[in-house]
């Protein structure tokens, strides 16, 4: 678990022998039905959201993650209209970025823990407009909602997995059954975007999600082994508050469309078209880990 020593808060290390330490002051702590929710104040990073001892977002750099998560899949293919499903995303940043684009005419967000939404809205203030007529929020288990949507034939152009590590309410989603329901909710020319922190060790790269789950496969490895969505691509970024800094985004699709060339022009606080293209340039150790080389 996370520990506190004087003014310093130390994140869980998941057995890798290093972690981030922050000198910060706790503003809020509660135990919801699903997880421990904490908010801290950091002099340089601003408000920091922590769930079950792992940092989820800071006011200083959350836009880096959210812009790369949203704009690469949305702008990597020409679309006149797009529907978006956000799984998780309780801090609201993914919703904010999805609503930036006028061609996005429907955004469904499913977050199991309504307290994460309420606390994030009150303390972080990075959320999108939940009252936007294009937005629909469901505070239910995503595994149940996606199973129902797949049976009903509800399809989305872009599905974004904005999940916590598999140590609490997200653990049910790291399964082959959930992958099949994801595929069942995806349009034929759609894409699912997943993400994870990577640690580079002397024995090769390790995924944070697999470390948190005691070696159980993360979604990228489940997709690789199952072939449920047969085409896998990856792009990368650096998100300073995440363990190791090195952060991967993984795209799963049926048709293998190349999302590395932006089909539209957009300038965010972090995102731009040149960065979009460059993020698909992968180091050789990444390519080997993903089976690309």
Active site members: 162
User: How many other CB atoms are there within 10 angstroms of residue 288's CB atom?
Assistant: 13
Q: Please, which residues have CB within 8 angstroms of residue 40's CB and are 6 or more apart in sequence? A: 9, 22, 24, 25, 26, 27, 47, 48, 50
Q: Enter the DSSP assignment of 172.
A: G
Residue 39 CA to residue 208 CA, distance in Å, equals 22
Instruction: Write the DSSP assignment of 204-270 as a string of letters.
Output: EEEEHHHHHTTT---HHHHHHHH-SS-EEEEEEEE-TTSTTSEEEEEEEESS---TTS-SS----SS
- Greatest pairwise CA separation for the chain in angstroms: 54
Cβ partners under 8 Å of residue 8, min gap 6: 21, 22, 23
**Phi, psi dihedral angles at 185 (to 5 degrees):** -100, 0
């Amino acid at each position: 678990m996370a520990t506190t020593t004087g003014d310093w808060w130390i994140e869980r290390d998941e057995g890798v022998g290093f972690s981030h330490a922050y000198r910060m002051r706790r503003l809020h702590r509660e135990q919801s039905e699903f997880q421990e929710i904490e908010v801290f104040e950091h002099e340089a990073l601003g408000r920091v959201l922590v769930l079950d001892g792992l940092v989820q977002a800071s006011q200083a750099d959350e836009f880096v993650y959210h812009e790369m998560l949203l704009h690469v899949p949305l702008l990597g293919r020409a679309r006149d209209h797009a529907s978006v499903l956000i799984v998780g995303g309780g801090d609201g940043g993914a919703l904010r970025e999805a609503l930036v684009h006028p061609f996005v005419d429907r955004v469904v967000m499913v977050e199991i823990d309504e307290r994460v939404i309420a606390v994030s809205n009150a303390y972080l203030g990075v959320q999108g407009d939940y009252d936007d007529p294009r937005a629909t929020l469901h505070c239910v288990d995503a595994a149940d909602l996606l199973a129902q949507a797949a049976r009903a034939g509800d399809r989305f152009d872009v599905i974004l997995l904005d999940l916590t590590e598999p140590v609490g309410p997200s653990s049910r989603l790291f399964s082959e059954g959930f992958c099949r329901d994801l595929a069942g909710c995806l349009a034929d020319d759609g894409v699912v975007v997943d993400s994870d922190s990577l640690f580079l060790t002397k024995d090769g790269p390790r995924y944070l999600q697999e470390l948190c789950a005691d070696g159980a496969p993360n979604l990228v490895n489940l997709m690789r082994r199952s072939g449920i969505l047969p085409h896998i691509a990856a792009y990368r970024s650096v998100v300073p508050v995440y363990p190791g800094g090195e952060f991967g985004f993984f795209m799963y699709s049926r048709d293998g469309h190349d999302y590395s060339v932006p089909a539209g022009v957009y300038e965010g606080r972090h995102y731009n078209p040149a960065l979009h293209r460059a993020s698909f340039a992968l180091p050789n150790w990444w390519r080997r880990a993903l089976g690309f080389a």
